Structure 1
Amino acid sequence: MSAFGYRKPADLPQTVPLFPLSGAILMPRGVLALNVFEPRYLNMVDDALGGERLIGMIQPAIGEESDPAPQLCDVGAVGRITSFNETDDGRYLITLTGVCRFDLEQELEGGTPYRQAIVNYEPFADDFSPSPGRAIDRDGLIASLKTYAALHGFQVDWDSVEQAPTETIINVAAQVCPFDAAAKQALLETITLEERAKALIALLEWDAASDDEHRPIQ
């Protein structure tokens, strides 16, 4: 069962507020920290806190990031506000915990300063239950992550990684690795955890191979 008692798509509202943000994706049971300062999104958080505390994270379509009202990607994810703090200068520091991905079906016009849409969770109904990922090469995945982290100088608590569920390792890596927006969207749109693991490993290995090609010959 998903966190917060959500068991199936029908347990979630069909209409959700949207927070378009390039380079930011949210996976089921993943955690995303946000610094909210634009008035329309402060309004959105206020409304969410007064209701079901749900916000839909979605990336602008590729090439649309600079548009003030960009076209949006076809797939996003709804998350629940699980932490909230207000700063002295009026910003909101919130944490979203991912519940389920969705297909964007129809954006709604007007009514609020922020964007809203009708969404469909059915294609991602399996998001409500954690996947054990038994068919995934966990050792190979962690080895690829270690190579990637070493190449980029990232400090990682590998003892914690080794103890984490496979799903957590994959989803956290998909969220926090600094892949470009298109790669992150591709990871978000993979239906199964096994497909996401393959796509993640391919990205990590491609990065390592690219680094080798550009490394000067000693």
Structure 2
Amino acid sequence: MSSLTIPEKCGVMLLPDSVLFPHGAMPLRIFEPRYRQMLEEAVEGDCMFCIGNLIGSNDSDPETSCAPIGAIGLIRASREAKDGTSNLLLHGVIRVQFKKWLGEKPYPYAEIRPVMDTTLASQEEASYLDRLRKSMNRALSGFPSEVNEQ
């Protein structure tokens, strides 16, 4: 399976109280003209756009109304209705930081940077697992042996 290339600039759909998680799915109905154009351009290009969480005021400046971290998604399926609206399924790929908002499109458009998940160093992780295992054994020691065997 080939890896996806995350674009440096991408369209962003701003939604209140909505978060797209990596590997999560988000069904969407696209009806606003600006987002119809964004969808059309995404389908003609890399089939990706971002979801940004609208916070605070609903003003038109994403710099002040959007959370700094969102996610980029891949369009898995899209169907356009006769009235021009579309239903689609967006699959979350990776979290992104909105570095700079660009005013060159009629929809929110930003320079983005992938945000990698942080993981514990293997030695630290092993230490936590060992402590967890010991705690579980202590907790199970008072139960009958049949419980401990499972």
TM-score by length of structure 2 reads 0.72
Count matched residues.
120
Of 8, 11, 28 in structure 1, the residue corresponding to residue 22 of structure 2 is: 28
Alignment of 1:56 with 2:50, yes or no, is yes
CA distance in 1, matches of 2:106, 2:70: 20
CA distance in 1, matches of 2:71, 2:99: 13
Alignment of 1:124 with 2:116, yes or no, is yes
Of structures 1 and 2, the larger Rg is shown by 2
TM-score by length of structure 1 reads 0.50
Matched ranges for 1:58-207 at <5 A: 58-61=52-55, 63-64=56-57, 66-70=58-62, 71-110=65-104, 112-121=105-114, 123-124=115-116
Q: For the structure 1 residues 4 and 16, does the alpha-carbon distance in structure 2 shift closer, same or farther, using more than 3 Å as the test?
A: farther
Aligned to 2:38: 44
Looking at secondary structure, tell me which structure has more helix per residue: 1
Unaligned runs of 5+ in 1: 127-134, 136-218
Percent identity of equivalent pairs: 27
**Superposition RMSD in Å:** 2.4
Deviation at 1:91, TM superposition (A): 0.7
Unaligned runs of 5+ in 2: 119-128, 130-150
- Structure 1 segments, 4+ long, off by >6 Å, are none
Aligned to 2:9: 15
CA distance in 1, matches of 2:61, 2:83: 26
SS in 1 for 2:16: coil
CA distance in 1, matches of 2:44, 2:60: 27
SS in 2 for 1:118: strand
Deviation at 1:4, TM superposition (A): 6.3
CA distance in 2, matches of 1:116, 1:90: 22
SS in 1 for 2:116: helix
Looking at secondary structure, tell me which structure has more strand per residue: 2
CA distance in 2, matches of 1:105, 1:25: 18
